[in-house]
Amino acid sequence: MDGTIRAASPDDVPAMLALMRELAEFEKLTHLFVASDESLHEALFGVRPAAEALVAEQDARVVGYALFFHNFSTFLSRRGLYLEDIYVQPGLRGSGLGTALLQRVAAIAVERQCGRFEWSVLDWNQRAIDFYAKMGASVLPEWRIVRITNDALMRLAKAE
């Protein structure tokens, strides 16, 4: 692998946000992308951080990232680590940076005695599915993501 993996710093926010936009384009989800430098900075480095991130650098340039946070399993009665995003720029895929990011987050999960390390993958992204399987991950076909946002979230919150 030609590059380094390190914890993200506040100075990395603009580069990470640019990579997040690239990911939204790749996933054809730019219509949902509303993150800003300010909101990402607050989420990662604010008074009460919601997530953590690692960045992959090559030639002193941020070219990938992994963003993760803790969740909890009632069945295990232990916290887990959820990988929200892992992204490496297309020209550097296959360089080992994605593997290194995934391994580093897995090591953090082990260090913190997490019971699980989980993430989601789009069903059409076969290259990613194959990559994850090669790393030892299982895609769970019986589970579906359930999501409620925007107006529907507001309506549900008001229902008592």
CATH of the domain at 151: 3.40.630.30
Number of domains in the chain: 1
Q: What is the pLDDT along the chain (160 residues), one digit of tens a residue?
A: 689 999 999 999 999 999 999 999 999 999 999 999 999 999 999 999 999 999 999 999 999 999 999 999 999 999 999 999 999 999 999 899 999 999 999 999 999 999 999 999 999 999 999 999 999 999 998 988 888 988 999 999 997 6
Residues with Cβ within 8 Å of residue 108, at least 6 apart in sequence: 68, 81
Beta-strand ranges (E) seen in the chain are 4-7, 52-58, 61-73, 78-88, 117-119
Domain that holds residue 153: 4-158
What is this structure's pTM?
A: 0.92
Helix (H/G/I), strand (E/B), else coil: 39 = helix
82 is annotated as an active-site residue: no
Q: Which of 65, 82, 87, 132 is catalytic?
A: 132
